[in-house]
Chains A and B, each alone.
Chain A
Amino acid sequence: MTRKQWLLSGFVAFTCLVSTAAVSGPIENYTPVTAQRLENPEPGNWMLYRRTYDGQGYSPLDQINASNVKNLTPVWTFATGVVEGHEAPPIVNNGVMFVATPMGQVIALNAKTGDEYWRYKRQLPDDLFQLHPTSRGVGLWEDKLYLATTDDHVVALDAKTGKVVWDTKVQDYRKGQYMTLMPLIVDGKVIVGGSGGEFGVRGYVAAYDAKDGKELWRTFTIPGEGEPGHDTWHGDDWKNGGGSAWMTGNYDKETKTIYWGVGNAAPWPGETHPGDNLYTSSVLALDPNTGKIKTYHQYHQNDSWDWDEVDAPMLIDLQRDGRNIKSLIHPGRDAIFWVLERTPTKINYVAGWPFVSTDVWKGIEPESGRPIVDPAHKPVIGKRVEFCPSLWGGKDWPSAAYSQKTGLVYVPANENFCGGFTGEKVALKPGELWLGTKPEDIGLKAKSGADHFGELQAWDPATGKKVWQHNFPKSQLFGSVTATAGDLVFVGGTNDRNFRAFNAKTGELLWEQKTNSGIMGMPVSYEIDGTQYIAIQSGWGVDAQRIQDALATNNIGIEANVPQGGVVWVFALKK
């Protein structure tokens, strides 16, 4: 090596050191994440998307509670440096917080002080077409963490330093393949699902070896030739049938079964893909070791409304009609609150009812759980069809929560919106939007005379009764809900930038705090040295922004402008 080469390589090494150089790190004492810790997480940690594998979004911490939450105050904030929708829960493992942001960034912070340990910034390709510039978080395993990127890679980072350990390309972003979900980690497998239903992809769920990034299995959500369910498709429709699986699944640790939500069929008008179209708008029960489909339940057939059912159902033990049910609870984008029963071999329909008003369904067949369509509100080719709720459904991807104390399910719902479009036959061009309508033809309408839009609802899944509801007169509700043992329910999701706490039993608004931007992220709770914290990312964008723009054009006195820019907010009780 010449002196010049040596100097150059020294320079590269040095700058790389700087690039991942910690502000106050590297992290000295990192607690490795094990299967045992993920299956039974300590109350003070939040290491999975919804804290626990059952997807309940419930923290057993109760230092902050209904009687003292009025004293909740910010203890530190951290600007992420990017705009767009910040949707990830801050993930916390024994005092270390990992925050994923749009544009492929992960920040490691001291969860007590907000000091930065390190930051990873992905170099995204210049020609990337980002329909959903966001990330829903990082998965943890042993001493690494895992990020699924919008240019369709899975990346493993060293948790202590942020250095890349491996980087596996999943598919080609130029074909409209991308990922925004937080990987689900089960026994050393990094399990992800693809986005891209709007681009005419064939959806899949895939697992990678946490050690080296080797692909272990890939299961397509649209069955190919010779696979069960293939006959629910005509001709070659299955090849680009959609069914993307872009949200994190939940996991039944007893039966070792993953429950993964599957998106709508592509393109939107059902006429273009006749048949039931398995496994679109369904939940799949998968074996995490092999990816084999154990069973499934299709919420609705031949989707024509863009009603993705990607938000995985919560696993809840219920007493219903005098029997114990191992249930799957899913407030659907299709406006139906689904109660299903999971058995080792089958998913049974138990009950379903509309949780917001809809004109699409005339009822549900009691045996099969198959909803009955009103054809007047099912989009077709060549004619404008309107339907309620809107394209964003009764509840989009933001998660509901379940409180083990109150036994209630808290749903971030939207009421009084309808939508519509004119279906058209469009040739598929790989990498370009393929909706079956002109994007500019899509409409979102507020029902005339509507006195509110967003609704935080509390349902008793055992009885099917709504226990309380809080209405938001001037805003949609587009943020995930978290419940705590302090009888609290936390949610952001409104266009007034507020973060709120409600009484879990009564729905009384107990506390609110204005933040920098709108919140579409997921609240989490954790504990360090005996103090309970609540954390959230504020950062408006993506679909919350799209709904906001549509609202603003409805002439109902709502401004389009919600400021963007991401900030991590952490709260604790005033000392």
Chain B
Amino acid sequence: MSRASLTINSSSPERSGEPEDDACAEQTRRTVLLGALVTSACLGCSAYARADEDPPGSDERPQKGDVLVFSEGDQEGKLITAADLPAGGPPVHAWPKDPKTSVVRSGSRLNEILIIRLDPAELDEKTRARAVDGIIAYSAICAHAGCPVTAWVKSDVGDKKVFKCMCHNSEYDPRAGAQVVFGPAPRRLAALPLALADGSLSVAGNFIGKVGAAQPG
């Protein structure tokens, strides 16, 4: 695929809604939803109630000092250490966890993170500067339409393994700041700075770049 095609995609509007449009659509929607809550048995409203029941802080984005725990698999909920990350991948899926309150920030799927350890020599300069021992982290939410990035497979356009979102085949190269190498995604995955102390990983700062989809949704 040519770079030109990526340029076409990335020049598409980031958010087509004007801020006031969104505010108004949302305002109307809320008003109507509230009305529905009052006047009728609102089917499925329990989901909103459930969201409210999530522990405070669980849907906040990763904070500096958060530790990282496995988000899936046998070790779900366990702390991730450098020793859990095999060199060369595959990535480990993680949630940030507030060490003070022990709240796992799994209240929003936008908080899911991919952590991978690669050979530092393979990383581009910017990525290497952000990596600790070759370990780097990115948002697991695809910049195209918000699916989770799940696969670590050989690229459709090269020999290297890449992060792949199976929803519409977008591929991201974690060695180069997760830039898009294939597919419709308009921009890279957000990066998450990490720190490493005594073999334990923690979050060193906010996401760099926008988390999630390019257009609303």
Interface members, chain B 1-36 (any A CB < 8 Å):
1-2, 5, 8-9, 12-13, 16-18, 20-29, 32-33, 36
Q: Is the CB of B8 within 8 A of A164?
A: no
Q: Does A37 contact B (CB under 8 A)?
A: no
- Cα distance A81–B146 in the bound complex, in angstroms: 19
Known: A169-B45, A552-B156. A126 touches B18 (CB 8 A): no
Q: Check B25 against A121 for contact (C-beta < 8 Å).
A: yes
Within 8 A of A (CB), among B22-60: 22-29, 32-33, 36, 40, 42-45, 47
Instruction: Assess whether A15 is interfacial by the CB under 8 Å rule.
Output: yes
Instruction: Tell me the B163-214 residues at the A interface (CB within 8 Å).
Output: 164, 166-169, 182-184, 186, 212-213
Beyond A124-B217, A127-B110, is A19–B16 a contact (Cβ under 8 Å)? no
Given A439-B151, A440-B164, A12-B27 contact (CB < 8 Å): yes
Q: Which of B106-152 contact A (CB under 8 A)?
A: 108-110, 141, 145-148, 150-151
**Chain A residue contacts of B167, Cβ below 8 A:** 130-131
Q: B213, A560: Cβ atoms under 8 Å?
A: no
Chain B hits for A169, CB < 8 A:
33, 36, 42-45
Residues of chain B within 8 A (CB-CB) of A105 are 16
Interface segment out of the listed A138-146, A319-327, A539-547: A539-547
Per the 8 Å Cβ criterion, residues 81-103 of B in contact with A are none
**Segment 100-157 of A: residues with Cβ below 8 Å from B:** 102-105, 120-131, 133, 150-151, 153
Which residues of B are found within 8 Å of A175, using beta-carbon distances? 47
Contact assessment for A164 and B28 in the assembled complex, using a CB-CB cutoff below 8 Å: yes
- Tell me, in angstroms, the Cα distance from A164 to B141 when the chains sit together: 30
Is A163 located at the chain interface by the 8 A CB criterion? yes
Number of interface residues of A (CB under 8 A): 64
B63 in the interface, Cβ–Cβ < 8 Å? no
Q: How far is the CA of A73 from the CA of B33 in the complex (A)?
A: 45
- Contact in complex: B168, A546 (CB < 8 Å): yes
Contact partner, A164, options B18, B25, B108, B186, Cβ 8 Å: B25
User: Are A542 and B168 in contact, with the CB atoms below 8 A?
Assistant: yes
- Contact between B5 and A561, CB atoms less than 8 A apart: yes
In the complex, the answer to whether B21 meets A19 with C-beta atoms within 8 Å is: yes
CB neighbours of A133 from chain B (8 A): 145, 215, 217
Indicate with 1 or 0, residue by residue over A435-470, a CB within 8 angstroms of chain B CB atoms: 000111010000000000000000000000000000
Contact status of A20 and B217, CB under 8 A, knowing A545-B168, A564-B9, A564-B184: no
User: Taking the nearest CB of chain A, how far is it from the CB of B212, in angstroms?
Assistant: 5
A18 to chain B, nearest CB (A): 6
Cβ of A168: which chain B residues have Cβ within 8 Å of it? 36
In this complex, the interface size class of chain B, counting residues with CB under 8 Å from chain A, is: 35 or more
Q: A215-B43, A440-B153 are in contact. Are A15 and B20 (CB under 8 A)?
A: yes
Of B2, B109, B168, most A-chain CB atoms within 10 Å = B168
Asked whether any CB of chain B lies closer than 8 Å to the CB of A166, the reply is: yes
A563 at the interface (CB under 8 A from B): yes
Chain A residues with Cβ under 8 A from B166's Cβ? 433, 439-440, 442
Provide the bound-state CA to CA distance between A160 and B57, in Å: 43
Measured CA separation A167–B168 after assembly (Å): 29
Given the complex, which residues of B lie within 8 Å of A122, measured CB to CB? Answer: 25, 29, 216
Q: Provide the main secondary structure of the chain A interface.
A: loop
Which A329-364 residues have C-beta < 8 A from chain B?
none
Residue contact B148 to A560, C-beta cutoff 8 Å: no
| Shortest distance from the beta carbon of A385 to any chain B beta carbon, whole Å | 19
Choice from A20, A82, A166 contacting B16 with Cβ under 8 Å: A82
Structural contact, A20 and B147, CB atoms closer than 8 A: no
A24–chain B nearest beta-carbon distance, Å:
18
Q: Which residues of A contact B22 (CB under 8 A)?
A: 121, 123
A18 nearest in chain B by CB position: B20
A103 & B16 in contact (Cβ 8 Å cutoff): yes
Complex contact A126–B156 (CB within 8 A): no
Contact for A15 among B23, B42, B150, B217, CB less than 8 A? B23
Cross-chain contact of B1 among A82, A128, A560 (Cβ < 8 A): A560
Does the CB pair B156–A549 fall under 8 Å? yes
CB distance from A13 to the nearest CB of B (A): 10
How far is B45's CA from A449's CA once the two chains are assembled, in angstroms? 54
Using CB atoms, name the residue of chain B closest to A153. B29
Contacts of B213 in A (CB 8 A): 126, 128, 130
Q: Does any Cβ of B come within 8 Å of A16's Cβ?
A: yes
Which residues of chain A come closer than 8 Å to B182, judged between CB atoms? 549, 560
- Asked if A561 meets B13 with Cβ closer than 8 Å, knowing A128-B146, A542-B168, A549-B156, the reply is no
Chain B neighbourhood of A12, CB < 8 A:
23-24, 27
Q: Which of A123, A440, A559 contacts B216 (CB 8 A)?
A: A123
State the Cβ distance, B113 to closest chain A Cβ, in Å.
15
A197-233, CB under 8 A of B: which get 1 and which 0?
Answer: 0000000000000000111000000000000000000
The distance from the CB of A310 to the nearest CB of chain B, in whole angstroms, is: 19
A213 to B39, CA, bound (A): 11
| CA A153 to CA B36, docked complex, whole Å | 12
Contact between chains at A104 and B217 (CB < 8 Å): yes
Which residues of chain A from 214 to 268 have any CB-CB distance to chain B below 8 Å in the complex? 214-215
Closest Cβ of chain A to B52, distance in Å, is 13
Q: Is A553 positioned at the interface, with any CB of B under 8 Å from its CB?
A: yes
B9 near A440 (CB under 8 angstroms)? no
Asked if residues A563 and B5 are in contact (CB atoms below 8 Å), the reply is yes
Check A179 for interface membership: any CB of B closer than 8 A. no
Would you call B145 and A84 a contact (CB within 8 A)?
yes
The residues of B that contact A433 with a CB separation of less than 8 Å are: 150, 166
A174 contacts partner chain B, Cβ-Cβ < 8 Å: yes
Interface residues of A, Cβ cutoff 8 Å to B: 12, 15-16, 18-20, 81-84, 102-105, 120-131, 133, 150-151, 153, 163-164, 166-172, 174-175, 213-215, 431-433, 438-440, 442, 541-542, 545-546, 549, 552-553, 559-561, 563-565
CB-defined A-B contacts under 8 Å, sample of 22: A15-B20, A19-B24, A81-B13, A82-B16, A83-B186, A83-B215, A102-B215, A103-B216, A121-B16, A124-B217, A127-B212, A128-B213, A129-B148, A131-B145, A169-B33, A169-B42, A169-B43, A175-B47, A214-B40, A439-B166, A545-B184, A564-B12
List B residues at the A interface (Cβ < 8 Å).
1-2, 5, 8-9, 12-13, 16-18, 20-29, 32-33, 36, 40, 42-45, 47, 108-110, 141, 145-148, 150-151, 153, 156, 164, 166-169, 182-184, 186, 212-213, 215-217
| 10 tightest A-B CB contacts, nearest first | A124-B217, A439-B166, A172-B47, A130-B145, A19-B24, A15-B20, A561-B5, A16-B24, A440-B151, A167-B32
